[in-house]
Structure 1
């Protein structure tokens, strides 16, 4: 078994493909991953402010474990703030799609159930999941695969139910302000009570407004730490009360210390695979 212990090790393990043209759906990004090793890979996942769909295209089954001890084999959907998630497999090859939660609500058909969970794509898409996976496996290139995946996403998005404009606005404000927002102010801006915003946002995004704002801020902090900035610098820059506040948030989301996040293998390929955070989209 190869347990990935450093960002350098992880980046060197993969051939990574990205779409050659912009996508049709704002709030969606895709990347293809093919392992360069036949060893069993064991990798911890860092939570991210997007719903992640991983379509398994390899010869060996991809196993994804969650913090509760549950395991999903094959193609999976990882919720916004799912923590303690680990991926394991041999000859790993997969198409990974990151969806803004605003888009994910329509594309996947559920939100509240996905906040901090890992579920099988088959459970959400039924036969459409198997058909799409078969088409992706048969495709001759990554560009063909991206086109097939995009067509499926566009089709389901058109048929799905959009989030309410007020919920989309609140999410957009959280992203724009990197999580530094007051829920009461946002509720007043959209003309809702705090209770109503809390209920609608939780049902359609999958997290409470407070938890969602914390996740956006954590993601910004994690990438600043991975870029080499000290915990003290990041805490002051992003607006944490102090360094211990940053430590608690990082520990709560990632299960490791700020030092551990700074060298997390999962973040090592972000500049290659994900040109820009798709959750920044307001769509």
Structure 2
């Protein structure tokens, strides 16, 4: 991959390149590179195989409720590499922005870290965990990488009912174009049920994992949905599946258990 970068006049001895939001590498110039505005001023070669990379490895679909604990995989970070870890929701107000402190790599082999998504993270958006290098080759232009978790909700009207009672489910999922008060493109979501206790499906077609379709409903332009009332006959676990679009990937909500007495 080749490209041009515009920088101010000056002398540069290091920098960083991102191949993707979650993958990049730092580099050094030796000797330092002098830049003159308006003229080509040298080049740098970097290799993707040398890159640092990270991703949300759990939950499986990288989506779920606010307040959930997620696991982040960090790969090819040299021992002693220090990252300052932060988080924010990509809504207009960057809701639930916070610092998670610093993390020091212990090995270039893949490592895993756990972080709790703030309970105030706004559903219908992505919560990003950012890792900013704070030492080493990138002191002046350090590498910054981030990976996201789609925040969505799914809540039964009751979680404990007598047999024959009716419940319904409400929630919010991400939809393309939704930004603050601006409405996006509505989408169809599907409610599934599994007898007893169950974890979120790992297949897009979950029938083979014991899940039964309850029904499908359309969200509004803000990603909010409400199902019709239905009667759970036995204790079950519910989950909602939502499709992807040009802004968000397809995924599932977190599960919720309804106990029938």
Q: Same fold (TM over 0.5)?
A: no
**Which has the higher Rg, Structure 1 or Structure 2?**
2
**Higher relative strand content:** 2
TM-score category of the 2 structures, normalised to the smaller one? under 0.3
* TM-score (normalizing by structure 2): 0.25
Highest RCO, 1 vs 2 (Cα 8 Å, sep ≥ 6): 1
